[in-house]
Amino acid sequence: MKPKKTTIHDIADKLNITASTVSRALNNNPRISDTTKKAVLDMAKDLHYQPNNIAAALRSGKSQLIGIIVPTINRSFFSSVIRGVEEVANTLNYRVVVSQSYEIFENEVATVNAMLNARVDGVIASIGKNTKNYEHYTNLIKKGIPLVLFDRTTNKIGTSQVVIDDFLGGYMATEHLIQQGCTKIVHFTSSKKVNIYKDRYRGYKEALNDYNIAFNESLVCKGNMQLEDGRIAAEQLLALNKEFDGIFSSSDYAAMGAIQILKEKGIKIPEEVAVAGFSNEPFTSFTDPALTSISQFPIEMGRAAAELFFDMLHTEKKKFIPQKTVLQPELVIRTSSLKTIK
């Protein structure tokens, strides 16, 4: 019934050569003559030969698979990183296996394990917010499986990572608000445990310091960085009669939430309060006012992660030194912070 799949043996038989020769010819092995190569390639086409990556993977120990672990796929930042990874993986004949942790530690562990079972050649991951134990990741490293962390990373395990300079991003956003005349700048942040928020916070403080503006801890709001958190924070600031003329939020969503509340209360943006977010989410250019933000170049980040991955793959484990690619953030100025020009 089923038209039995053709293998290298079928090609070999037709050509009166051996399977090894066919295998070599297909892999463009230099020791095979051009004539045989051509004959093999032609016959492969004739027989509709379809290489079996699985068999090759079992034999060679290389699956040509890269595992990607992200909290959730349908967030612009993460899907863009995946896009970047896929772009370069694709050109090198690698496939990309994705899975989500949903910020749940157990899922993250399980998913690393699944990647291990699938025998991926390496893993590119962004750490979940609630992850404090990195054993599942160090396990990978112990087994000699390349691991590249991006964005939400950690220095506690020695592996390559790619991040943007979050400190600089925080600094740039804050500096920009200061230059627009703000002196009482609110900051929205999240858990200190997460490197990215910690660094953006540091950048904020440093900018204040450099411009001789006193740091006021009561203007720092902690939350979960969602739209709702921004709304709540803004409401509380107003309820407490805090004076402020600028907001630097570590998340575009929280910034947006604050903007909604301010608009509802009739507070003018940017005239009375200038706002800057972080991430340059696609929606930031569509809002009213359009939201100033910090671009993280997620596609480039994905490409960089893939490159670090292939570096690792081609380096002997003992010779390997963890690399860190730091991308430069970019301040994207939009109406929400443009006091002067308006």
Out of DNA, its own copies, none, what residue 9 binds, judged by CB under 5 to 8 A for its kind, is DNA
CA distance 32 to 47: 21
Nearer to its own copies by Cβ, of 82 and 178: the residue is 82
Radius of gyration (C-alpha) of the chain in whole angstroms: 26
Identity of residue 321: I
**One residue of 14, 37, 119, 242 binding its own copies per CB under 8 A:** 119
- H or E element in which residue 274 lies: strand 274-276
Regarding 27 and contact with its own copies (CB under 8 A), the answer is no
CA distance 179 to 232: 27
Question: What is the nearest approach in angstroms of its own copies to the Cβ of residue 276?
Answer: 16
In sequence order, the 6+-apart residues with CB closer than 8 A to the CB of 207 are 170, 171, 174, 175, 178
Nearer to its own copies by Cβ, of 96 and 274: the residue is 96
Question: What is the nearest approach in angstroms of its own copies to the Cβ of residue 22?
Answer: 16
Question: What is the nearest approach in angstroms of DNA to the Cβ of residue 319?
Answer: 20
Out of its own copies, DNA, none, what residue 17 binds, judged by CB under 5 to 8 A for its kind, is DNA
- In the structure encoding, which two tokens stand for residue 335, read together? 């109406």
**3-state SS, residue 147:** strand
The answer to whether 209 and 236 are in contact (CB under 8 A) is no
Burial of 259 (0-12, 13-18, 19+ CB in 10 A): buried
Nearer to its own copies by Cβ, of 90 and 328: the residue is 90
Among residue numbers 66 through 85, which ones bind its own copies (CB under 8 A)?
72-76, 78-80, 82-83
Regarding 7 and contact with its own copies (CB under 8 A), the answer is no
Question: What is the nearest approach in angstroms of DNA to the Cβ of residue 23?
Answer: 3
**3-state SS, residue 198:** helix
CA distance 128 to 126: 7
Out of its own copies, DNA, none, what residue 225 binds, judged by CB under 5 to 8 A for its kind, is none
Out of DNA, its own copies, none, what residue 186 binds, judged by CB under 5 to 8 A for its kind, is none
Question: What is the nearest approach in angstroms of its own copies to the Cβ of residue 77?
Answer: 9
Q: How far apart are the first and last CA of the chain?
A: 75
**One residue of 27, 92, 210, 282 binding its own copies per CB under 8 A:** 282
Regarding 313 and contact with its own copies (CB under 8 A), the answer is no
Nearer to its own copies by Cβ, of 18 and 58: the residue is 58
**One residue of 105, 154, 184, 283 binding its own copies per CB under 8 A:** 283
The single-letter DSSP state of residue 291 is P
Nearer to DNA by Cβ, of 56 and 227: the residue is 56
Q: Which residues bind DNA (CB under 7 A)?
A: 5, 7-9, 16-21, 23-24, 26-27, 30-33, 35-36, 49, 51-52, 55-56, 58-60
Pairing outcome for strands 185-189 and 246-249: parallel
Identity of residue 248: F
**One residue of 91, 214, 266, 286 binding its own copies per CB under 8 A:** 286
What sign results for the dihedral spanned by CA atoms 316, 322, 327, 328?
negative
Identity of residue 157: I
CA distance 120 to 265: 53
Which residues sit at the interface with its own copies, rule CB under 8 A?
A: 2, 50-55, 57-58, 63-65, 72-76, 78-80, 82-83, 86-87, 90, 93, 95-100, 113-114, 116-119, 144, 256, 282-283, 286-288, 298-299
